[in-house]
């Protein structure tokens, strides 16, 4: 049987989500097909969950009860740094280890909301107007307000809605920017788009792009906050109630973005539907994978249970 390292944990506020994701992968992957080991990545400490044994970084091996374990594949269940931002992928490639997510370049690119938008701008992907701010530089509030109110202020390279604010008045703008700078050295200020929010998962199976059913997100709060994502404060409808034409537009756009960015594994792309046009919000290259998360809902609607879905990701990584 193949030995699978499930990488989880991480160094950011998303750590708590990663640990839950890692446990879900461990619980659902078929134990008669894989030997599973959860590895907690925290700074320079890489340890096996359960025994606390350290990974040998010289060859990414684990020694348990005198037996050295070499891994066949790494399952990405770590949101945020140092995996979703691409830092770990180069090391894994040097070790000759396949992994279930995007490569280091694509991960680093998509971790930056601003850089992703710049990369996709030439493809005609509809997106909200935005401006990027840098910590320590003057903020031209009047110029930002020309985009209109409300505005969304968000850390540029951070996930799970940490530090995100919806600004409704000019007086709230600078405090919102300060809050976002608590989580990142770059902050994106984005024009508000009135519309319905949707999310669409996509992955590669046997070398072909497979787009999953679409989910509509109906948050109890004013936008898809941390509580809405992880504490049940949102209604999620999968598959979304859309016309065949709108469904096709969204899924075709999802496939186009996935392939244009050179993505691998499963990613989730978030949109706002304004009128009859899907506007890109952002791609998530290591999306949440708890049973209640959006992508697992979509996988189930497609006809896969979680064990099958996770196995497909491993087999595709091994095939590639």
Please tell me the predicted confidence (pLDDT) of residue 233.
Answer: 66
In this prediction, the residues of the chain whose per-residue pLDDT falls under 70 are 159-160, 221-233
- DSSP for 275-320, please give it: TTEEEEEEEESS---STTSHHHHHHHHHT--HHHHHHHHHHHHHH-
- What angle (nearest 5°) sits at the alpha carbon of residue 4, between those of residues 302 and 293? 35
From the list 149, 204, 206, the residue with the least C-alpha distance to 172 is 149
Q: Given its phi and psi angles, is residue 50 left (phi above 0), alpha (psi -120 to 50 degrees) or beta?
A: left
2-99 classified as CATH 3.40.50.20: yes
Output the pLDDT for position 163.
87
According to DSSP, the β-strands at 165-167 and 151-155 are: antiparallel
| Angle ∠(8,118,262) on CA atoms, nearest 5 | 50
Question: Is 108-125+194-319 CATH 3.65.10.10?
Answer: no
**What tokens appear for 183 in the block?**
């989580």
CATH superfamily ID and name for 130-191: ATP-grasp fold, A domain (3.30.1490.20)
pLDDT number for residue 291: 81
Encode 114-137: b = buried (16+ Cβ within 10 Å), e = exposed.
bbbbebbeeeebebbebbbbeeee
Beta-carbon contacts of 118 under 8 Å, excluding residues fewer than 6 positions away, are none
Domain ranges of the chain: 2-99, 108-125+194-319, 130-191
Q: Would you say 207 and 300 are in contact if contact means Cβ atoms under 8 Å apart?
A: no
Active site residues: 14, 160, 230, 268, 270, 282, 284, 288
Residue 26's alpha-carbon distances to 49, 97, 306, in angstroms, are 11, 19, 11
Give pLDDT, residue 13.
82
């Amino acid at each position: 049987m193949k030995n699978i390292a499930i990488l989880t944990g991480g160094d950011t506020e998303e750590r708590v989500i990663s640990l839950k994701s890692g446990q879900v992968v461990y619980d659902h992957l078929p134990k008669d097909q894989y030997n599973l080991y959860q590895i907690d990545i925290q700074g320079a400490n890489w340890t096996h969950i359960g025994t606390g044994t350290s990974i040998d970084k010289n060859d990414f091996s684990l020694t348990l009860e005198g037996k050295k374990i070499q891994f066949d594949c790494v399952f990405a269940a770590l949101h945020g740094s140092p995996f979703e931002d691409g830092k770990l992928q180069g090391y894994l490639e040097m070790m000759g280890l396949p992994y279930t997510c995007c490569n280091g370049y694509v991960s680093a690119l998509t971790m930056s909301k601003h850089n992703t938008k710049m990369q996709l701008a030439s493809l005609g992907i509809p997106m909200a107007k935005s401006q990027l701010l840098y910590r320590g530089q003057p903020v031209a509030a009047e110029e930002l307000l020309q985009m209109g109110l409300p505005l969304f202020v968000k850390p540029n390279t951070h996930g799970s809605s940490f530090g995100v604010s919806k600004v409704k008045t000019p007086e709230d703008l600078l405090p919102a920017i300060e809050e976002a700078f608590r989580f990142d050295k770059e902050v994106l200020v984005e024009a508000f788009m009135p519309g319905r929010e949707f999310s669409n998962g996509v992955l590669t199976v046997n070398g072909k792009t497979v787009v999953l059913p679409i989910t509509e997100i109906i948050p109890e709060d004013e936008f898809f906050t941390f509580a809405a994502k992880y504490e049940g404060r949102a209604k999620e409808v999968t598959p979304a109630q859309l016309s065949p034409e709108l469904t096709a537009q969204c899924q075709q756009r999802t496939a186009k973005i996935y392939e244009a960015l050179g993505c691998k594994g499963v990613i989730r792309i978030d949109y706002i539907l304004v009128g009859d046009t899907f506007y890109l919000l952002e791609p998530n290259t290591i999306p949440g994978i708890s049973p209640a998360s959006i992508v697992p809902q979509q996988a189930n609607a497609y006809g896969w249970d979680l064990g099958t879905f996770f196995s497909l990701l491993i087999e595709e990584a091994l095939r590639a």
